[in-house]
Amino acid sequence: MAPSNDLLTMTPKGLFCEQGNFYVDPWRAVDHAVITHAHADHARWGSKKYLAADTSAEVLRIRMGEKADLRFQPLGQSQTINGVRVTFYPAGHILGSAQVKIEKAGYSIVVSGDYKRNSDPTCQPFEPVRCNTFITESTFGLPIYRWPDPQTVFDGINQWWKSNQGSGKTSILLAYSLGKAQRLLSGIDASIGPIYTHGAVEKLNAGYREAGVALPETTFVGEVDPKEIDWSQSLVVAPPSAVGGPWAKKFGKLSVAMASGWMQIRGTRRRRSMDAGFILSDHVDWADLMQTIHETEAENIWVTHGYSDVVVRYLREQGFNAKVVETEFTGEQLEGDTEPAS
Amino acid sequence: MRDFCELYWRLDSTTKTTEKVLALEAYFHQAAPKDSIWAVYFLTGSRIKRLVKTGLLRQWATEEAGLSQWLFEECYDRVGDLAETISLVLPPKQSSLAEGEPSLQSLIENQLMPLREMEEEGLRQSVVKLWQQFDQRERFVLGKLMMGGFRVGVSKRLVIRALAKHTGIDAATITHRLMGHWEPTAEFYEELVDPDENETAISKPYPFFLANPLKDEPASLGEVSDWVAEWKWDGIRAQVIRREGQTFIWSRGEDLVTDQFPEVESAASELPDGTVLDGEILGWDETEGRPLAFNQLQRRLGRKKLGKKLLTEVPVVLLAFDLIEHAGEDIRELPLADRQTRLHEVLEGLPSAAIQEPPKVLTESNRDWNSLATVRESSKAMRAEGLMLKRADSKYQVGRPVGDWWKWKVDPYTIDAVLIYAQRGHGRRANLYSDYTFAVWKEEGLVPFAKAYSGLTDAEMRKVDKFVRKNTNEKFGPVRSVTPELVFELAFENIQRSTRHKSGVAVRFPRISRWRHDKKPADADRLETIVAMLEED
Ligand SMILES: [Zn+2]
Ligand SMILES: [Zn+2]
């Protein structure tokens, strides 16, 4: 199995396919970058040319700016780059997120990027792809992570919003501006009250709408006179970095909640001093991670960002040929867009 | 159980005292008395002892979850709380097994209590069945019921406040009714919240009246003649109750300690029925007419059996300084001077010296504050910590109200604090948990206040180490958080304001001056007390 050793290798700039002369989600500027999805730790500025799934076109454009040289390829279709076949498959993580399959001479590697298996109407569902080597994330790779049914989570959010209305508090829901925010907007009951958004969220809402994803009506907070709004009836969706600063002052009495996989742990909720924490993640939980690994039927499992050591040790006990691949991906972050998960 | 879980998570999701009180009130409003009383029981810090060994729960959960030991450990490391880790790794709730929704009382009395009598095999089956009936959040609360350590930011004071608001009965009465030992029954709850209930259980002590540290010059208290000066003793504050031919001795931590002080118990048998004395229990040096050193008294504490030798070497006395029940009547509303006159009459005829009036602070020195200050300087010779200043017309109040009772200590820089974190030491102590972080009360929670490494004997350190290992709640790297249970007296050189410390104050050279076996976490000092010391400078 000679090709397996050199089809994709880890270099200081990221995962490199020498035969195809391209990188996958590189963290330094390169000539040719293949991108799994538009999150900042996977799609970085500065490379000369980018290739991504066409479903990510709208959001990737917003994230990378007008000047970036972006090319798109439909999901499920292949192109051959310097003799290496490259195909995108949906990853179910956020709008446009894709797994990248790289094949040559009958050997295949799938880079998962970030992915989840739970239902999410804002993006194409994950498809398991058979391969020889599966490179998986492990953001929530511990058995303590088990996601509740998303509908029960949304019921909880709706209830929280209504009870805040009753006690005259503005509902501030914190979520990542790309992906989680739109998933929340599409899942909540918009008939409860008006919905406002932070600028970072509203910018990406536009991309989602352009891509044909149905979202309820939202108003950018910056567009209205704060004194004229009865904030206590509204829901404000904002990135985690927004609270604590002066931005949140105008809303009066608040109830602050966060939607994230990290909210599964009581200590995390308490340290962030949230009024409520909702367990909603765009990554796989432990059971889905294991099921996916089985479904790929891969003989080699490379594990990246998250609990890679734990997952590798566990997989080896189960008889897999598994190893840790050190990357600079950060997974779903706790503190905002720039700090690593802890 | 569902309502109680909801209460738990409501309390957990807020740090605001008013919201916690509202949540408690709402619970007491809708819950049945038989459930309410168990909620009171747990939230005021009691736990069911010796239910199931923590190690077994951990092992069974690991096996039920199908995990290797190491993987469970990884999970525990991440979560930091054992009850929570168990609740998360177990397979999801099996609704088909849930036999309806048990009430809190039924869960505890019909499902938890019987566990104590079970052999290991049946025990495991029962525990697993319990786990299967509940979802993750309920399991977490169940785990806390079984293992203790609620830590949901609710103190006894707060529960009392909520009960008082809920019933319209004043907090002092509720406090009194919750004193001492009681059984968590519906009947007791009915008595607790009965607006007309006057009967006193014969063993029931009164809430202690506690003094505040004096931060201003004593002259600020006004006329010296309005005040009674007493020695501030360094022993165990206690109430001795004589009712219906029985004697009960309660420590301030609401422990019944009658058996530990047979001398006092037998002296008390000569007291008339319907007598409650407040005083200090001390090791006593008859020839010197002053207490033995505190470490002598400590030899007598917490023992199952008291040998003859110890009883001879460390005889104890109760120095009674107040009378709060006389001839079966609650006399807390009388002025201190009147209570002490009656106290004198009651003690005068007592044949045994094991209960006596304390040595007096010389009366002529009571003429002005300066001479009183001179007397205070001689406290060490009296083996006292300083003076108590009590307003002569003060009623016997509940808790620590400001204004009528002051402690005027010689060395003001000592406080009682609760051990909350421990870390392994260095060098010779590398295998012992010997570096400690202590906390004091701020509102309803404990805030870290000082770290201390020294001051305990090796034997004491080994005891603390054992305690830490058995009572770890969370691990953060090398640091373990422990169930707040042990109280220590800390001494320090100086105190300053600090923005870097959560408590807002920083102390210099903190050291452990002694282990207060006689105190419970609730007796530890409050942050306000320390801040008051700061203002003294
Ligand atoms: Zn991502
Ligand atoms: Zn990622």
> A-chain residues within 8 Å CB-CB of B88?
143-146, 264
Distance CA(B516)–CA(B46), nearest Å, equals 20
- The C-alpha of A26 sits at a distance from chain B's nearest C-alpha, in angstroms, of 29
> A-chain residues within 8 Å CB-CB of B474?
267
> B-chain residues within 8 Å CB-CB of A317?
68
- The C-alpha of B535 sits at a distance from chain A's nearest C-alpha, in angstroms, of 31
* Residue A1, pLDDT score: 41
Residue of chain A with shortest Cα separation from B12: A270
* Residue B195, pLDDT score: 84
Q: Considering the domain boundaries, does residue A331 fall inside one?
A: no
E strands along chain A, which residues?
9-11, 14-17, 22-24, 32-35, 49-53, 70-73, 78-81, 84-90, 98-104, 107-111, 133-138, 170-174, 195-197, 219-220, 235-238, 254-259, 276-278, 300-306, 321-324
How does the average pLDDT of chain B come out, rounded?
A: 88
Report the percentage of chain B scoring pLDDT > 70: 96
- In this prediction, residues B68-87 reach a mean pLDDT of 92
Distance, C-alpha A114 to centroid of its chain:
6
* Residue B199, pLDDT score: 59
Q: How many domains does chain A have?
A: 2
- The C-alpha of A57 sits at a distance from chain B's nearest C-alpha, in angstroms, of 37
Phi, psi of B256 (to 5 degrees): -80, 115
* Pick among B64, B67, B69, B78 to test the A interface (most A CBs inside 10 A): B78
| Terminal alpha carbon distance of chain A | 38
Contact A23, A14 (CB under 8 A): yes
Any bridge partners for residue A32, and if so which? Answer: A49
Do A103 and A53 share a structural domain? yes
Using a CB–CB cut-off of 8 Å, the residues of A that contact B are 142-146, 264-267, 269-270, 273-276, 307, 310, 313-314, 317
Please check the confidence at residue B239 and state whether its pLDDT lies above 50.
yes
Do A226 and A170 share a structural domain? yes
Distance CA(B38)–CA(B31), nearest Å, equals 11
* Residue B456, pLDDT score: 86
Q: Is the dihedral of CA B451, B455, B461, B463 positive or negative?
A: negative
Do A134 and A17 share a structural domain? yes
- The C-alpha of B393 sits at a distance from chain A's nearest C-alpha, in angstroms, of 47
Please check the confidence at residue A337 and state whether its pLDDT lies above 80.
no
Residue of chain A with shortest Cα separation from B92: A146
Residue of chain A with shortest Cα separation from B474: A267
Chain segment A264-318, per-residue pLDDT in tens: 998 888 777 788 999 999 999 999 999 999 999 999 999 998 899 999 999 999 9
Q: In this structure, what CATH number is given to the domain that contains residue A164? A: 3.40.50.10710
- The C-alpha of A54 sits at a distance from chain B's nearest C-alpha, in angstroms, of 38
- Lowest-confidence range among A56-70, A215-229, A236-250, B229-243? A236-250
Contact B389, B228 (CB under 8 A): yes
Quick one: pLDDT band at residue B150, thresholds 50, 70, 90? confident
Quick check: B74 and A270 CB within 8 A? no
Do A24 and A139 share a structural domain? yes
- Considering all CA atoms of chain B, what is the largest pairwise distance in Å, rounded to the nearest integer? 81
> B-chain residues within 8 Å CB-CB of A266?
12, 81, 84, 140
The two tokens of residue B467 are: 């305690």
Dist. CA A236 → ligand 1 center (Å): 23
How does the average pLDDT of chain A come out, rounded?
A: 91
- Starting from the CA of residue A140, give the closest ligand: 2
Do A85 and A8 share a structural domain? yes
Please check the confidence at residue B47 and state whether its pLDDT lies above 70.
yes
Q: Considering the domain boundaries, does residue A70 fall inside one?
A: yes
Do A140 and A177 share a structural domain? no
* Residue B189, pLDDT score: 95
* Pick among B15, B88, B152 to test the A interface (most A CBs inside 10 A): B88
> B-chain residues within 8 Å CB-CB of A267?
79-81, 84, 474
Q: In this structure, what CATH number is given to the domain that contains residue A26? A: 3.60.15.10
- In this prediction, residues B212-233 reach a mean pLDDT of 89
Q: Where are the alpha helices (DSSP H) in chain A?
A: 3-6, 57-64, 150-166, 180-187, 199-210, 266-271, 286-296, 308-317
Dist. CA A97 → ligand 1 center (Å): 8
* Residue A335, pLDDT score: 37
Quick check: A143 and B80 CB within 8 A? no
Contact B519, B500 (CB under 8 A): no
Report the percentage of chain B scoring pLDDT > 90: 48
Quick one: pLDDT band at residue B535, thresholds 50, 70, 90? low
> A-chain residues within 8 Å CB-CB of B74?
142, 307, 310
* Residue B198, pLDDT score: 62
Q: Domain boundary at A278, A311, A335, which?
A: A278
Residue of chain A with shortest Cα separation from B65: A143
Dist. CA A42 → ligand 2 center (Å): 6
Listed residues: CB within 5 A of ion ligand 1: A 39, 114
* Residue A336, pLDDT score: 33
Please check the confidence at residue B88 and state whether its pLDDT lies above 50.
yes
Dist. CA A332 → ligand 1 center (Å): 7
Strand order in the sheet with A133-138: A78-81, A84-90, A98-104, A107-111, A133-138, A300-306, A321-324
Angle between helices B2-12 and B33-43 (to 10 degrees): 40
> A-chain residues within 8 Å CB-CB of B68?
314, 317
Please check the confidence at residue B536 and state whether its pLDDT lies above 50.
no
Quick check: B15 and A273 CB within 8 A? yes
Q: Which one, of B485, B493, B494, lies nearest residue B436 by Cα? A: B485
Quick one: pLDDT band at residue B200, thresholds 50, 70, 90? low
Contact A39, A28 (CB under 8 A): no
Considering CB atoms only, which of A144, A274, A307 is closest to B88? A144
Contact A102, A85 (CB under 8 A): yes
> B-chain residues within 8 Å CB-CB of A276?
13
Q: Considering the domain boundaries, does residue A332 fall inside one?
A: no
Comparing B64 with A327, the larger pLDDT belongs to: B64
Q: Considering the domain boundaries, does residue A337 fall inside one?
A: no
Q: Tell me which amino acid residue B419 is.
A: L
Quick check: B79 and A144 CB within 8 A? yes
- In this prediction, residues B488-506 reach a mean pLDDT of 81
Quick one: pLDDT band at residue B155, thresholds 50, 70, 90? confident
> B-chain residues within 8 Å CB-CB of A254?
none
* Residue B156, pLDDT score: 86
- The C-alpha of B16 sits at a distance from chain A's nearest C-alpha, in angstroms, of 11
Do A192 and A256 share a structural domain? yes
* Pick among A144, A160, A269 to test the B interface (most B CBs inside 10 A): A144
Q: Considering the domain boundaries, does residue A335 fall inside one?
A: no
- In this prediction, residues B481-506 reach a mean pLDDT of 83
- Residue in this structure with the two tokens 């007419």, named with its chain if needed: B289
Q: Which one, of B164, B146, B149, lies nearest residue B24 by Cα? A: B164
Quick one: pLDDT band at residue A339, thresholds 50, 70, 90? very low
Dist. CA A247 → ligand 2 center (Å): 28
pTM over 0.90? The answer is no
Q: Considering the domain boundaries, does residue A174 fall inside one?
A: yes
> A-chain residues within 8 Å CB-CB of B80?
267
* Pick among B12, B70, B74 to test the A interface (most A CBs inside 10 A): B74
Please check the confidence at residue B220 and state whether its pLDDT lies above 60.
yes
Chain segment A73-131, per-residue pLDDT in tens: 999 999 999 999 999 999 999 999 999 999 999 999 999 999 999 999 999 999 999 99
* Residue B157, pLDDT score: 86
Contact B88, B134 (CB under 8 A): no
Please check the confidence at residue A3 and state whether its pLDDT lies above 50.
no
Distance CA(B32)–CA(A287), nearest Å, equals 40
Distance CA(B329)–CA(B414), nearest Å, equals 37
Angle at B233 between CA B231 and CA B235, to 5 degrees: 165
Considering CB atoms only, which of A144, A270, A314 is closest to B85? A144
Q: Considering the domain boundaries, does residue A181 fall inside one?
A: yes
Do A229 and A196 share a structural domain? yes
Do A138 and A10 share a structural domain? yes
Quick check: B89 and A143 CB within 8 A? yes
Do A154 and A266 share a structural domain? yes
* Residue B84, pLDDT score: 94
- The C-alpha of A28 sits at a distance from chain B's nearest C-alpha, in angstroms, of 31
Residue of chain A with shortest Cα separation from B473: A267
Distance CA(B359)–CA(B202), nearest Å, equals 30
Quick one: pLDDT band at residue B30, thresholds 50, 70, 90? very high
Quick check: B74 and A142 CB within 8 A? yes
- The C-alpha of A277 sits at a distance from chain B's nearest C-alpha, in angstroms, of 9
Phi, psi of B102 (to 5 degrees): -75, 145
Quick check: B88 and A264 CB within 8 A? yes
Considering CB atoms only, which of B13, B65, B92 is closest to A143? B65
Residue A151, classified by CB atoms within 10 Å of its CB into exposed (0-12), middle (13-18) or buried (19+), is: exposed
Quick check: B84 and A265 CB within 8 A? yes
Q: Considering the domain boundaries, does residue A113 fall inside one?
A: yes
Please check the confidence at residue B277 and state whether its pLDDT lies above 70.
yes
The two tokens of residue B42 are: 């747990």
Chain segment B334-374, per-residue pLDDT in tens: 999 999 999 999 999 888 899 999 988 876 666 788 888 88
The two tokens of residue A25 are: 């989600």
Dist. CA B126 → ligand 1 center (Å): 43
Distance CA(A68)–CA(A248), nearest Å, equals 33
Do A215 and A166 share a structural domain? yes
Comparing B149 with B468, the larger pLDDT belongs to: B468
Chain segment B372-393, per-residue pLDDT in tens: 888 888 888 888 989 999 999 9
- How many A-B residue pairs are in contact by the CB < 8 A criterion? 47
Chain segment A237-255, per-residue pLDDT in tens: 999 888 877 888 889 899 9
Quick check: A265 and B79 CB within 8 A? yes
Do A164 and A110 share a structural domain? no
Domain membership of residue A192 as a residue range: 150-278
Quick check: B140 and A144 CB within 8 A? no
